[in-house]
């Protein structure tokens, strides 16, 4: 059996955090509430991150953001 790469382990942790937030808060809140919750759980899990960095966003060949 192949050992998980560091990227796969990190990805699973991040997805788990997202599900934890959804399961506890459910849906219908302001996006900022989910962002703050996500940031807190990233910190609690010692996952470094930065926020609010955006660039050019393309979707199917069109600039959308």
Domains of the chain, residue spans? 1-49
What contacts 49, CB < 8 A, 6 or more positions away? 39, 42
The pLDDT score that the predictor gives to residue 1 is 53
Predicted local distance difference test score (pLDDT) of residue 62: 94
Lookup result for tokens 């600039």: 63
pLDDT tens for each residue of 17-43: 999 999 999 999 999 999 999 999 999
> What whole-number percentage of the chain has pLDDT above 70?
97
Mean pLDDT of the chain: 91
Query: What pTM does this model have?
Result: 0.72
């Amino acid at each position: 059996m192949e050992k998980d790469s560091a990227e796969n382990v990190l990805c699973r942790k991040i997805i788990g955090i997202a599900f934890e937030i959804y399961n506890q808060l459910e849906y219908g809140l302001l996006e900022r509430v989910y962002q703050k919750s996500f940031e807190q759980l990233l910190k609690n899990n010692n996952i470094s991150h930065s926020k609010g960095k955006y660039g050019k966003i393309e979707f199917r060949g069109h600039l959308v953001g």
